[in-house]
Chains A and B, each alone.
Chain A
Amino acid sequence: MKVTVVSRSGREVVKGGIQLDDSATVADLQEAIHKRTKKHPSRQRLTLPVQPGSKERPVVLNYKKSLKDFTSGNSETLTVVFKDLGPQVSYRTLFFCEYLGPLLLYPVFYYFPVYQYFGYKGERVIHPVQTYALYYWCFHYAKRILETFFVHRFSHATSPLSNVFRNCAYYWTFGSFIAYYVNHPLYTPVGDLQMKIGFGFGILCQISNFYCHIILKNLRRPDGEGGYQIPKGFLFNIVTCANYTTEIYQWLGFNIATQTIAGYIFLVVATFIMTNWAFAKHRRLRKLFDGKDGRPRYPRRWIILPPFL
């Protein structure tokens, strides 16, 4: 069949179109487009043309499907709309970069005499809480990196390159900001009991968070087929985004133990970001699982932070 590839403004992206077998898949088409346009398949967004004025969302061509699935009756020709998503990186690469910063930068403030460059001369007394905070923090980001490579199953393989700069700026800046204050020579520790409660609660939440990630991983089919399931088990029975819940409470534990304004600011910002994600996910699941056509009805649950949201 002959495939015509146009841009959203109607201009032909591949002059003369592409000839493919009738049995070809979308992946084959993407490979052919790659050869002609030098744009890697991961940055190609291919959709079926939408009637002008129609409010419907365009049908996206999934790379696993056959091209035949998208031709309506006439299987000789097909027109697809091409959008360049820009340079992409794999999610694994993105997460690894953003988490590596905090993992490496925090210990710099603990181990190296950086504070003399801020005007603080002389010996630094290190409180036990500062050492435990170092272990807690590094454990957290090491865990995140390991989960990225061994646990998480990603629905999209890639993310735009610009996100690398944006996300790394966020994690690396906040990481340094918090590390500066917790390891400061004039740091004031909290009481012993408060520290133990903070770290203890935090570790509990980190372990729960890990278990949540395992549950989410098992929801996805191993062949990467995608699609949504109703999360079940453990805390997911009462809250949709239990993974975010445990993550937020884990940072709360860290802040209870270390008590810095910098840490609390980070907690508020991270909570805000995750809450936005949670609302979107909850809405998506409720819309998908509406109880009609044999689909189960999404149960009543907290969105992210029982008993508030």
Chain B
Amino acid sequence: MAASFSLPRRLYLSLYNWTLLFGWCQVLYFVLKTLKESGHERVYNAAEKPFLLAQTAALLELLHGLVGLVRSPITSTLPQIGSRLYLTWGILWSFPESHVLVTSLLISWSITEIIRYSFFGFKEAFGFYPPWLLWLRYSSFIIFYPIGISSEVGLIYIALPFIKASERYCIRMPNKWNLSIDYFYGAIFAMAIYVPGSPHLYTYMLGQRKKALSKSKIE
């Protein structure tokens, strides 16, 4: 399939995937280094810059899907990237924490992304991927989704008192456009979405795993 696409596309996507791979390796490196040297409280500060950059760069993937550069439908990439950016900027950057859940979050996200970007990096640059990488991509979620999801919900929950007290991102009435935004209730709503959302996503991934791993056996 890689051969049937143009060279500029492959070059660009290889560059994108390998760059992001490097970015997330950097995040993981800073997390582990800080853990070893000073403990989990300093992890967010140490990893913040590469983390914000790597996660925000994923916005490009929306563009890739929209212009047809990759096949992923926007209906699946949009919620995925949306939730990541909400956690990244809406919770972690806005209400910085030194809780151990930040560490578990950053570890699950960075390992998942390292596997994902190296998978696509191989595919785009070399036209193939090692079978163990395929296995990793479709199996690592089994432990990292529960860890990541618990960390995400936990971090939103911990941030709640700070969100309420700060009034940040809130719009109060009265105003000309009769609009109100209560970021606190928004955060509660976000946590509520995880209740139906997580089992749905997990079972979806299990189905994808079955398809991908059985297909590779046939090949």
Q: Do A and B come from one complex?
A: yes
In the assembled complex, B179 has its CB within 8 A of some CB on chain A: yes
A68 contacts B by Cβ under 8 Å: no
Residues of A within 8 A of B3 (CB): none
Q: Tell me the smallest distance from the CB of B189 to a CB of chain A, in Å.
A: 12
Dominant secondary structure of chain A at its interface with chain B: loop
Report how far A111 CA is from B28 CA in the complex, Å.
57
B132 interface contact, C-beta 8 A: no
Bound-state CA distance A186–B178 (Å) is: 8
Closest residue of chain A to B177 (Cβ to Cβ) is A261
B175/A188 in contact, CB under 8 A: yes
- Closest CB in chain A relative to B33 CB, distance in Å: 46
B161 at interface by CB-CB < 8 Å: no
Residue from A182, A188, A262 within 8 A of B176 (CB atoms): A188
Residue on B nearest A187 in the bound complex, by CB: B178
In the complex, residue of chain B having the shortest beta-carbon distance to the beta carbon of A181: B178
B110 to chain A, nearest CB (A): 36
- List residues 177-194 of chain A with CB under 8 A from any CB of chain B: 181-182, 184, 186-188
Q: What 1/0 mask marks residues of chain B from 171 to 196 whose CB sits below 8 Å from any chain A CB?
A: 00111111110000000000000000
Shortest B177–chain A CB gap in Å is 5
Within 8 A of B (CB), among A157-206: 181-182, 184, 186-188
CB-defined contacts of B174 to chain A, threshold 8 Å: 186-188
- Smallest CB-CB separation from B171: which chain A residue? A261
Interface residue A79 (Cβ < 8 Å from any Cβ of B)? no
Query: Chain A contact residues (Cβ within 8 angstroms of B): what range?
Result: 10 to 19
Chain A residues with Cβ under 8 A from B177's Cβ? Answer: 259-261
Closest to A120 in B: B173
CB closest chain-B residue, reference A180 = B180
User: Please, which residues of chain A bring their CB within 8 A of the CB of B173?
Assistant: 184, 186-188
Q: Which of B176, B178, B179 has the most CB of A within 10 A?
A: B178
B165: min CB distance to chain A, Å: 16
- Nearest residue (CB) in A for B172 is A186
* Alpha-carbon separation in the docked complex, A181 to B178 (Å): 7
Q: In the complex, what's the smallest C-beta–C-beta distance from A152 to chain B, in angstroms? A: 31
User: Whole-angstrom distance from the CB of A166 to the nearest CB of chain B?
Assistant: 15
Q: In the assembled complex, how far is the CB of residue B179 from the closest CB belonging to chain A, in whole angstroms?
A: 4
Within 8 A of A (CB), among B43-66: none
Interface residues of A in 132-154 (CB under 8 A from B): none
- CB-contacts of B143-189 with A (<8 A): 173-180
A181: chain B residues within 8 A (beta carbon): 178-180
Q: Which B residues are CB-close (under 8 A) to A262?
A: 178-179
Which residues 203-218 in A have Cβ within 8 Å of B in the complex? none
Please encode chain A, from 261 to 296, with 1 for each CB lying within 8 Å of some chain B CB and 0 for all others.
110000000000000000000000000000000000
Closest to A185 in B: B173
Cα–Cα distance between A113 and B183 once the two chains are bound (Å): 24
Closest to A189 in B: B178
> Could you tell me the distance between the alpha carbons of A149 and B175 in the complex, rounded to whole angstroms?
41
- By beta carbon, the residue of chain A nearest B181 is A261
**B164 CB, min distance to chain A CBs, angstroms:** 13
- The smallest beta-carbon distance between A261 and chain B, in angstroms, is 4
**How distant is A121 from chain B, measured CB to nearest CB, in Å?**
15
Q: Which residue of B lies closest to A190 (CB)?
A: B176
Which residues of the other chain, B, contact A261 by a CB distance below 8 angstroms?
Answer: 177-179
A183 to B180, CA, bound (A): 13
Could you tell me the distance in whole angstroms from the C-beta of B178 to the nearest C-beta in chain A?
A: 4
The CA of A262 and the CA of B180, in the complex, are separated in Å by 9
Residue of B nearest to A182 (CB): B178
Closest residue of chain A to B173 (Cβ to Cβ) is: A186
Distance, CA A188 to CA B171, complexed state (A): 14
B34 to chain A, nearest CB (A): 42
B18 → chain A closest CB, angstroms: 38
CB distance from B30 to the nearest CB of A (A): 40
- Smallest CB separation, A278 vs chain B (Å): 22
CB distance from A272 to the nearest CB of B (A): 14
Q: Which chain B residues lie closer than 8 Å to A258 at the CB level?
A: 178
Chain B residues, CB < 8 A from A188: 173-176, 178
- CB pairs A–B below 8 angstroms (14 shown): A182-B178, A186-B173, A186-B174, A187-B173, A187-B178, A188-B174, A188-B175, A188-B176, A258-B178, A259-B177, A260-B178, A261-B177, A261-B178, A262-B179
Other than A258-B178, A260-B178, give 4 A-B pairs with Cβ distance below 8 A: A182-B178, A186-B173, A187-B178, A259-B178
Interface of B toward A, CB cutoff 8 Å: 173-180
